[in-house]
Amino acid sequence: MKEMTGFICDESYFWHQTGNGALNLSSGGWIQADTHAENPETKRRVKNLLEASKYMDELHQISPRSASRTEISMNHETHYIDKIKELSDAGGGDAGVHAIVGPDSFEIALKSTGGTLTAVEAVMEEKVQNAYALVRPPGHHAEPEEGMGFCLFNNVAIAAKYARQKYGLKRIAILDWDVHHGNGTETAFENDNDVLFISVHQENIFPKNRGDITFTGKGDGEGYNVNVELPAGTGDEGYLHAFEELIEPIIGQFAPELIFISAGQDASRFDPIGRMLVTSNGYFEMSQRIKKLAEKHCEGRLIACHEGGYSTAYVPFCTLRIIEAMRGKNSQVNDPFKLGFHEGPIYPHQREAVKRAVDIQRSYWEL
Ligand SMILES: [Zn+2]
């Protein structure tokens, strides 16, 4: 089993309701009812493609357990956990900034975080080599006392804290490639030198005033926080350039015992709320590089947790390619959008953006 890739999902994840808003807002006023950007289909179609293609047969499916309140409280204040429960019991509301709670969202969010904990247990106890957790609601924007950007509990932050506590890990790396900055995860570990946090994101997108390359951590955590801001329009080549210039060398020098990917596929070229041009091949290549680092440093221990990604059409193909790279075996599915790799050049301003991040991180790493 150890060579297997685990796949964690639960039907309840698709029952978390975000209402009939448009893009990131609820309907009402001048906003006609529509389909909210963070809707079940953005994730359900990933599972559907795995099943339709029979690639699911290549994966070791694991049912998620629910996280306990105590586990959630490793990263969130009690009053905030209570607030989610109250809103959920009352039928819904907003737990912060665009953090929609629907009926039973509290219990679903416990199972979403629990999915990432299940992934930690499966990988650490060598039931599988690596695991993809198709969880919902997502987590990386969630702050200790505030929900944000469709996120309620910070799944990856809680999973990393759990891994550190339960398995005594001394070095955990988290790479967040969601198109938005992973502010909640950054906050969770900004003072820590045993968790390396790297966020590669579109500059000036969301949330405001977070994700600046100059923020490198605080106190003991100084030098263990890496922000890479890329300009709108960056595609596979620009992302891979950032991987080569600083993401891969920094993870290599840190030599983690476990790697997490906050896998938001909203840097894809068809995303309605991101402005990047990453293709399914780009996601494949990025995943393969991280897998190689995991094999070199931590016996292949790698966990990818689903975050954003709002193109219902394209997210499934990007996510399938990530899972193929993790599993080490291709599916029969070709990207029907027929996007060639190495299509786009790296423009000078994209190179410059990577260089700016490298120059800052040179204070801490050999680059
Ligand atoms: Zn996102």
Residue at 87 is within a domain = yes
pLDDT of residue 344: 74
Cα 205 to averaged position of ligand 1 atoms, centre (Å): 9
Q: Which domain holds residue 244?
A: 5-16+33-361
Residue at 56 is within a domain = yes
Residue at 107 is within a domain = yes
Would you call 82 helix, strand, or coil by DSSP? helix
Q: Catalytic positions, please?
A: 141
CA-based nearest residue to 203, from 86, 329, 89, 353: 353
Cα 178 to averaged position of ligand 1 atoms, centre (Å): 5
Per-residue burial over 334-359, b if 16 or more Cβ lie within 10 Å, else e, is ebeeebebeebebeeebeebbeebbe
Which residues in the chain belong to E strands, given as ranges? 5-8, 60-62, 93-94, 96-97, 100-101, 130-133, 147-148, 172-176, 195-202, 225-230, 258-263, 302-306
pLDDT of residue 238: 96
Cα 289 to averaged position of ligand 1 atoms, centre (Å): 21
pLDDT of residue 3: 75
- CATH number of the domain enclosing 169: 3.40.800.20
Residue at 213 is within a domain = yes
pTM above 0.85, yes or no: yes
d(CA 77, CA 27): 30
Residue at 49 is within a domain = yes
Number of domains the chain contains: 1
pLDDT of residue 1: 52
Residue at 126 is within a domain = yes
Give the other-Cβ count within 10 Å of 90's Cβ.
10
Q: Model confidence over 114-159: pLDDT tens digits?
A: 999 999 999 999 999 999 999 999 999 999 999 999 999 999 999 9
* Residue ranges for the chain with pLDDT beneath 50: none
Cα 93 to averaged position of ligand 1 atoms, centre (Å): 21
Cα 266 to averaged position of ligand 1 atoms, centre (Å): 6
